[in-house]
Amino acid sequence: MKSLAATIALVLVVAGAAGVAHAQKGRMGEVYNLQPGATPPVIELYTFGRGEIIFEKFGHTALCINYNEQGRETVCFNYGVTDFSMGGGALTWNFIRGKQKFFVEPIPLGGMIAFYRHEDRTIWRQALPLPAEQARAIEAKLLHDIKPENRFYIYDHFADNCTTRLRDIIDVAIGGRLREGSGEPFPLTFRQMGRRGLAELPPLIAFGDFAVGRALDEEISLWQAMFHPFVLRDHVEVVLDAPAELIYERRGPPIPEDGPTNRGWALVIGLAFALPLLASKLTGRFERTAVAIATVPLALIGLIIWTAAIISTIPGLRWNEAIFLYVPFDVVLPFLGAVRRRQYARVRLGMFVVGSLLTALGVFLQPLWVPIVIGYALFGLIAFELPNPPLAPRTPGGV
Q: Give pLDDT tens digits for 191-245.
A: 888 887 777 777 878 888 888 889 899 999 999 999 999 999 999 999 999 999 9
3-state secondary structure of 65: strand
Which of the residue ranges 117-121, 354-358, 375-379, 390-394 would you say has the lowest mean pLDDT? Answer: 390-394
DSSP state of 318: H
pLDDT value of residue 145? 94
Task: Give the Cα separation of 183 and 176 in Å (integer).
Answer: 12
Q: Looking at the predicted structure, is the pLDDT value of residue 70 above 90?
A: no
Residue 85: alpha-carbon gap to chain centroid: 22
pLDDT value of residue 31? 47
pLDDT value of residue 4? 34
DSSP state of 18: T
pLDDT value of residue 219? 94
To 5 degrees, how large is the angle CA 340–CA 342–CA 343?
A: 60
The residue that leads in pLDDT, 386 or 260, is 260
Q: Looking at the predicted structure, is the pLDDT value of residue 368 above 80?
A: yes
Residue type, 258: D
pLDDT value of residue 388? 59
Q: In whole angstroms, how far apart are CA 303 and each of 7, 12, 212?
A: 20, 20, 14
Contact yes or no for 143/36 (Cβ under 8 A): yes
Average pLDDT over the chain reads 84
Given the DSSP bridges, would you call strands 75-82 and 123-128 parallel, antiparallel or unpaired? unpaired
The residue that leads in pLDDT, 115 or 21, is 115
For the chain, the farthest-separated pair of C-alpha atoms sits apart, in whole angstroms, at: 113
Q: In whole angstroms, how far apart are CA 123 and each of 43, 48, 229?
A: 16, 5, 12
Q: Give pLDDT tens digits for 35-52.
A: 787 889 999 999 999 887
Task: Give the Cα separation of 248 and 118 in Å (integer).
Answer: 11
pLDDT, mean of residues 269-273 = 89
Q: Looking at the predicted structure, is the pLDDT value of residue 175 above 60?
A: yes
Q: Phi and psi dihedrals of 77, rounded to 5?
A: -115, 115
pLDDT more than 90, % of the chain: 52
Band of residue 14 on the pLDDT scale cut at 50, 70, 90: very low
pLDDT value of residue 284? 81
pLDDT value of residue 24? 40
To 5 degrees, how large is the angle CA 205–CA 209–CA 213?
A: 120
Residue type, 311: I
The reported pTM is: 0.83
pLDDT value of residue 56? 76
Task: Give the Cα separation of 293 and 329 in Å (integer).
Answer: 15
| Neighbouring residues of 65: CB distance < 8 A, sequence distance ≥ 6 | 37, 41, 42, 43, 44, 74, 75, 77, 138, 139, 142
pLDDT more than 70, % of the chain: 88
Q: For residue 369, which of 358, 350, 356, 354 has the smallest C-alpha distance? A: 356
Q: Looking at the predicted structure, is the pLDDT value of residue 337 above 80?
A: yes
Q: H helices of the chain, where? A: 2-14, 28-31, 88-97, 109-118, 132-145, 162-173, 190-197, 202-211, 222-225, 229-240, 263-272, 275-283, 287-311, 315-318, 338-360, 369-383
Please give the order of strands across the beta sheet that includes 101-108. 152-154, 101-108, 75-82, 60-66, 42-48, 123-128, 245-248
Q: Give pLDDT tens digits for 208-219.
A: 888 888 989 999
Q: Looking at the predicted structure, is the pLDDT value of residue 333 above 50?
A: yes
| Neighbouring residues of 103: CB distance < 8 A, sequence distance ≥ 6 | 79, 81, 82, 151, 152, 153
Q: Looking at the predicted structure, is the pLDDT value of residue 114 above 50?
A: yes
